[in-house]
A and B are shown apart, each in its own frame.
Chain A
């Protein structure tokens, strides 16, 4: 066990691939679970859902382990799988929500608008960003990834990552300046 704990990510990937034994992969999961779960938690804002997605992410990662070429960090590669897992589930949920909303609209005769959930500061902050901007900002500020690692995780070139962060910050600044002017 100590041997596994001391080995670096690339060695553990090689061991997991050569033996197809999940023990070495388990060490990789133990090492990276926090980052993956925090990323998904910040994206979907629901702890149990984030954990389900994280489990799916690691199972996909096991299936695709042979695709990891080692030219970037394992964390970046893993977070890319987490991001695509999140998007796939979101698309499925959106389709489901459309059907449910349509059904609710057809059966709702009261004319009462649905109650909006209370939004906290973080939700309002991230709410001004697009999905992609939100993911990049979370990877940078919540997960502490470098631009290069964010590029691995998002599939965007490093230059685009920088401009997405810049644009995201600008949007947040503009939004909060407007609010301060309105209420402050």
Chain B
């Protein structure tokens, strides 16, 4: 492999193998758990994994968007309304609304590409709140405060969740592979270069604005896709699923899983969606517990949960070396 990522070659070869193995295991899960409730949680995990991974694509370009769940809602409502009011097939409205979400994201990304750090975060936060307010104000078109009901289903056969399970597993895999290829190509390198120093990046000819807008477009496309798919699975939409709090949960998935590695958001989403389900009776404490977990992760695992195996390995070799040294002396 003659790429300039030569140093990472071994890892790059290993990773897809591990992922394929995991995907096979996940594909067999419905044989073990037939309860609709378990399948529902797993489907949500797939949907939010797409959202979290696409969130991180924007983050690696040095932008910290706090409107990501709002864009998910935008994709969901656009697709739902297209199918419900215009009578279009969900198979058409899902990709279309993802495209529209991406376009709106890029349109907003243009003026926002001048903002940095806290200013970008706050700007996007308020824009996201604005999107949700507009949906609330949509009256009977969007269902307003009471929510949108009667959204056409994506797959035939109401009742079984198994088809949806495979649909969203496939959607998540395709999205993850698509975003992985962006990150580990020159495009991803340019995004990371801009985030490290936009002055240096533009001094070697990388257009800061162009790449920042591109990252937002890609991130919004996939989160719009996830939201649109969700709309036709759930068949009922409520604005509160996409509010500020939902964005903050996405941020938590990414931070706890590990913002510095591609797998971080995936691990974070799986753990933060599935584990709290076991303690559902304690749900009101979950923000508090999550905050504590974040603290622990940052203290003990600077790379996030995804860095845990590597951390354990390096601690073990360290210990072995210390033993050797003490034996020798």
Judge: A and B partners, yes or no. Answer: no
